[in-house]
Structure 1
């Protein structure tokens, strides 16, 4: 189980990395409902390196706010690497940020399928200067645990993006 302290420490480290790199971040969140943005804004001074968050829980919001093509959602589903990639790119395009993380998943307890069971979460990271990366995960635990694991990995991926530029 990941504690809030661990998430807060990651958010603090992210802020230091973004500041040193001269980058600004944004988030596009579905199943985490703004959890990554909450962790980031718990850090004093985060307004210097965090622009905004898009909470796009519905498919319509993903299209309206992040310019995700509805045909991507129809073809691959909202919980897919293709859709989170489009969400991350759309978040940067529709903000004053350089770097984004996007998350979509099935936190449970319902909503899973055989192909995409509860705990399936897709996360994408996009850096306007160095490209993107998307991964699919299967987390174990209840709704809160799945969401916390996704938040933690989202922050870790942003830090990795800055350090390695993918």
Structure 2
């Protein structure tokens, strides 16, 4: 994973409607960039719904929420519609951004080793520098942890 203080790799990925979205589009704003394994699975759904529930609070703090997974734009569209997700979901089927951010890693599940997305979140400042890196986050508390961090630092950057 990348560390705090590192320049965040810029990227352009399609959103749920196939429109290209670049990290650099959000210069001047903080970006909560969270990586998750798969649309509509239990943990990923809880995590996404927690970000959706806190969406207005993130907007009040001038922060943009972006979720990234390998899923297709069509999968993201269904996931967003089904759960009322108001934030961007970006599709990275080629693993370009997942690898650039170091979240595509070897995982073990029930003794089986495979490659997959390690649920991780980055907070990127308005200058495009990683302010906080959070590896192996918990889906139920991730949104609130980031929100608490942003509230604590409301006045300064």
Return the TM-score normalized by structure 1.
0.37
Q: Whose helix fraction is larger, Structure 1's or Structure 2's? A: 1
Which of structures 1 and 2 has the larger relative contact order (alpha carbons within 8 angstroms, sep 6+)? 2
Higher strand share: 2
